[in-house]
Amino acid sequence: MESKSPPRCPSSVTVRRNPYRKARATPLTNPPQLPSHSTSSSKLPPISSFPIQDILSEEIPQNAPPTVTVTAASQSRSQDSIAENLRVYLRIRPLVPLKGSTKNVGDQNPSSRTKNVWPQNPSKKDSVREKKNSKKKNNESCVTVSEDCHSVTLSPPLPLQESKRIKSEVYEGFSYVFSADSTQSEVYEKMVNPLVEDFLKGKSGMLAALGPTGSGKTHTVFGSAREPGMVPLALQRIFKPAPACSSQSSRRFYLSIFEICAERGKAERICDLTSDGQDLSMQQSAIKGLQEVLVHDVAGAEQLIGRALLKRSTAMTNANSQSSRSQCIINIRRGIDSSDAETDEQSNSTVLSIVDLAGAEREKRTGSQGTRLAESNFINNTSMVFGLCLRSLLEHQKKPKKALQKHFQNSLLTRYLRDYLEGKKRMTLILTVKPGEEDYLDASYLLRQASPFMKIKFTNIEAQSNLLCNKRQFQTTFRAEQPKRIKLGSRDASMIEGKIARDENRLHDEEDLRICNAKFKNCTPLNLNSDNLMKRERNHQIMQNFAKALWSVLKQHNEKLKVAESEIQILKENLRNEKTRSIEMEKELNNLRSFCTCSKENSVASTIVKVGENFESTVHSEGHTFCSFDETKPVLDSSNRINSECSSCLRICDSTPGEDHRNVKVLSPNCNCSPENGDLVRRQQQDMSSQILSHKTSSNLSGLECIDDKQEPDALVRSSEADVSSPSICVSNENCQIFQIHESFPGTGNIHEDSSESNYVVAEHLDPKSDVKVSTSGNDSSASVEPGQQLGEKNEDLLDLLVSPKEVKHTQQQDLTYVPETEIRPDTSCNSSRKEKPKRRLLPASSILVREISTLDADEFDKPRGDGVGNKLAASERQRTQGSISLLRLLKSNLHSLV
């Protein structure tokens, strides 16, 4: 029962790491009885007398920590003692932790099952995730154990090998390397048992687990229910029933558990985990107020430890579901019964310390934020200082003491463990590593920390490494002219180390550099004299400049190309626009053509203007009725009806119903009328021509005809009229503009062949301002007005004809005149005139309409006529179309100019 309820501890017990020196009791003096450690007693401990006996009896044991006195003998002795006092072990965590490997000891103690007593089990989920991750990422181990189990080979993962050219490293000199499949008991037997045995014999010692986060420190130290760790195994051994004769039965053991943590990663704190936890303070190497609990058996000890660990600061990180956030220290002090006090006083101060350090971690791996990040800084700093202290353990004699002291002062942990770190007491280090490829950097860092304690051998320098070294050597040689490397003092070195520890991502580069430096030392120097170097340097500069010039040229070309490309784009755009425009224009042209009825399927009427029987127009001297044909209005009206669908033909007719009816036939020589139509027209024209020619004797102008310039004079279409007062006018457009003014007898609808007088006028242009060619044909003579030529008396007849009111009666059907383009021979006179001046074309009626209307002088047009014909004219004017108005205006202006 006693073991289940441990006796109350005194409120404050100071545990001194360095016990008072004891002097052996001299046989003459009766040494005062030392007060028994009554930590379990409720009474306050009696004030002990000054331990003069202890001091006097103090003897430096054979394996005592080395003194600082630097002599050759003492140095070698101290080295030996350090070597004896320090053992370094390595344990490799399995890639995938075994199923039973949990930290929970609740299995053993049902009452504590609900709560984790030992470090918590990772939740199933986490373990599954971890397993998956491990399977995925850590399928390859980067640490391999040698056969003799004293060295390991650390191989970088392939990407690092390729990118950073890192080679495998062999770390030798371990006391023992525990492979991934090693068991807790195996580790205990080989590593901890010697410590425990020595402890039981009165020799203090310490076991410290050091390694990156999640590497198995806590697992190794505390273990799980299935796999108890070093602490429970040690307790089992300690409380193992001793033989009856042994003095062990009378011994008592006191447990004290505390942690060093940092509040929000800032100030360090010491927390007693066995009590309700007020903060403790440290005086030199002793912790003031730390409670010691007397334990009588294993169960009691485990219970106490279990409860204490529940109070320990842990947190979940990406690397470990239950990561330790503090350095946890368990002290097992061996006490003695009061009865045995006389015989075994020295063992009173024997302490076995087991330290579970918080694992160094990288932010990248743990994903720590905020407070966790501050914690992790603290953890990393502590482990760094610890590592530095370890480093200086072997080298401290070469270094000034002050520098060494600084390391210890930097952390409560190192201050507390100073005796161990100075090699004064026996210390065993267990390094734990994770062998996954992604853990390579962590493992490498840890092993280098421990390197002072072991030989580090690198794999053979291969060609590639040589290359690397040579390259760097080459660079170094160049830099030789620059200030040489600064020698760093230990403080600077420690700062560098600190930097490395803080920024572990950069670690490898630094390490890499160091490795390379080491390699560099081994490398045979390159045989480069200064000439060669100069040459190379010059070549290098030349090439560099050349490359720069090339680069700038290429850049310029690139810019030019861009400009050219943009121009091309613009041109393409323009081209596209032009194409669309041309397509549109083509369409318009087609549309215009479609209005032309010159297609084959069009009837004869499409190319020939037929002036209907009922169409009558009267040409008056001052007010001819002009009929112009709109493209879309082939027929004018009931009185002035003209059938035509050919827009290229302009027909003019003056007719007055009820008066002389004359047929007005307007033909376009450019009309591509259907052949049959053409034949018909041609025939009729030929007939007409012959008729006209047969009436050449007529001296008066009876008809005006505009002929095509291509038309031969013989083939000119002429209108023959006997009566000069009744001309018919035929106007064709385009190239020719034929005015055919001819006369037929009213009602007959035929050309009056018997007319004695038949005159004709050939005019080239309708435009009043244009040059006019007028040909007159009289009885014996023909008159023609060349462009620009003033009309003379000879042509007065023609003028009379144009200005005098003449009635023209047009009959349609029979008076068809057709001048096919192919058959019309050019009029030489017309040709000559064209050569001199470009020919004006007769625009379609509609355009003329617009133009003429705009330029029409209304005043002139509306001028009241004084003659008697005025009323009649007014009546006829009402019937005028716009085309007729424009033609009238045209003729009038021509007349004006002529006059």
Ligand X SMILES: Nc1ncnc2c1ncn2[C@@H]1O[C@H](COP(=O)(O)OP(=O)(O)OP(=O)(O)O)[C@@H](O)[C@H]1O
Binding site for ligand X (CB under 6 A): 93-94, 97-98, 101-103, 122, 211, 213-219, 320, 322-324, 358-359, 432
Taking alpha carbons only, the member of 594, 595, 57 closest to residue 346 is 57
Residue 428 CB, shortest distance to ligand X, in Å, is: 17
Residue 301 CB, shortest distance to ligand X, in Å, is: 20
Angle, helix 401-409 to helix 370-395, in steps of 10 degrees? 150
Residue 351 CB, shortest distance to ligand X, in Å, is: 23
Nearer to ligand X (CB atom), residue 19 or residue 94: 94
> Which two tokens mark 332?
């097992």
214 is in an annotated binding site: yes
Instruction: Round to whole Å and give the CA distance between 351 and 343.
Output: 18
Nearer to ligand X (CB atom), residue 65 or residue 216: 216
Q: Could you tell me where the beta strands, DSSP code E, fall in 440-590? A: 456-458
Nearer to ligand X (CB atom), residue 300 or residue 435: 435
Q: How many CB atoms lie within 10 A of CB 298?
A: 18
Nearer to ligand X (CB atom), residue 216 or residue 634: 216
Residue 215 CB, shortest distance to ligand X, in Å, is: 4
> Which two tokens mark 584?
């549109």
Nearer to ligand X (CB atom), residue 51 or residue 94: 94
> Which two tokens mark 831?
């040709």
Q: How far apart are the first and last CA of the chain?
A: 156
778 is in an annotated binding site: no
What percent of the residues of the chain are helix, what percent strand, and what percent coil, each to the nearest 5? 40, 15, 45
109 CB burial (10 A radius; 0-12, 13-18, 19+): middle
Please, which residues bridge with residue 619 across strands?
806
Residue 362 CB, shortest distance to ligand X, in Å, is: 12
> Which two tokens mark 742?
């001819």
List Cβ neighbours of 626 (8 Å cut-off, separation of 6 or more): 652, 653, 654, 880, 881, 883, 884, 885, 886, 887, 888
Taking alpha carbons only, the member of 218, 211, 202, 198 closest to residue 97 is 218
DSSP code, position 368: -
656 is in an annotated binding site: no
Residue 440 CB, shortest distance to ligand X, in Å, is: 17
Taking alpha carbons only, the member of 355, 490, 332 closest to residue 416 is 355
Please give the backbone phi and psi of residue 123, each rounded to the nearest 5 degrees, phi first: -65, 155
42 is in an annotated binding site: no
Residue 359 CB, shortest distance to ligand X, in Å, is: 3
List Cβ neighbours of 406 (8 Å cut-off, separation of 6 or more): 491, 494
* Max Cα–Cα distance, the chain, nearest Å: 191
Instruction: Round to whole Å and give the CA distance between 112 and 114.
Output: 5
Residue 385 CB, shortest distance to ligand X, in Å, is: 16
Instruction: Provide the residue type at 663 as one letter.
Output: N
Residue 94 CB, shortest distance to ligand X, in Å, is: 5
Nearer to ligand X (CB atom), residue 136 or residue 487: 136
Residue 98 CB, shortest distance to ligand X, in Å, is: 5
Residue 99 CB, shortest distance to ligand X, in Å, is: 9
Taking alpha carbons only, the member of 587, 592, 610 closest to residue 666 is 610
Nearer to ligand X (CB atom), residue 120 or residue 776: 120
Query: At 565, which helix (H) or strand (E)?
Result: helix 530-595
Nearer to ligand X (CB atom), residue 295 or residue 309: 309
Nearer to ligand X (CB atom), residue 57 or residue 215: 215
Report yes or no: 508 and 442 within 8 Å, Cβ to Cβ.
Answer: no
List Cβ neighbours of 803 (8 Å cut-off, separation of 6 or more): 621, 622, 895
Nearer to ligand X (CB atom), residue 97 or residue 623: 97
Please give the backbone phi and psi of residue 366, each rounded to the nearest 5 degrees, phi first: -85, -25
| Cα torsion 106, 112, 114, 120: sign | negative
Nearer to ligand X (CB atom), residue 213 or residue 644: 213
Residue by residue, DSSP assigns 164-224 as H----EEE---SEEE-TT--HHHHIIIIIHHHHHHHHTT--EEEEEE-BTTSSHHHHHTB-
Query: At 334, which helix (H) or strand (E)?
Result: strand 327-336
Nearer to ligand X (CB atom), residue 211 or residue 820: 211
Place of tokens 């004769």: 245
Residue 207 CB, shortest distance to ligand X, in Å, is: 14
DSSP code, position 288: E
Nearer to ligand X (CB atom), residue 216 or residue 306: 216
Beta strands 617-619 and 703-705 are unpaired
218 is in an annotated binding site: yes
Place of tokens 């053979």: 460
Residue 424 CB, shortest distance to ligand X, in Å, is: 27
Q: How many CB atoms lie within 10 A of CB 14?
A: 12
How far lies 675's CA from each of 57, 421, 602, 679, 708, in Å? 151, 126, 11, 6, 19
Nearer to ligand X (CB atom), residue 85 or residue 218: 218
Instruction: Provide the residue type at 372 as one letter.
Output: R
Beta strands 642-643 and 426-433 are unpaired
Place of tokens 């004809």: 801
Nearer to ligand X (CB atom), residue 438 or residue 613: 438
Residue 415 CB, shortest distance to ligand X, in Å, is: 21
213 is in an annotated binding site: yes
Residue 504 CB, shortest distance to ligand X, in Å, is: 15
Provide the annotated binding site: 211-218
Provide the annotated binding site for ATP: 211-218
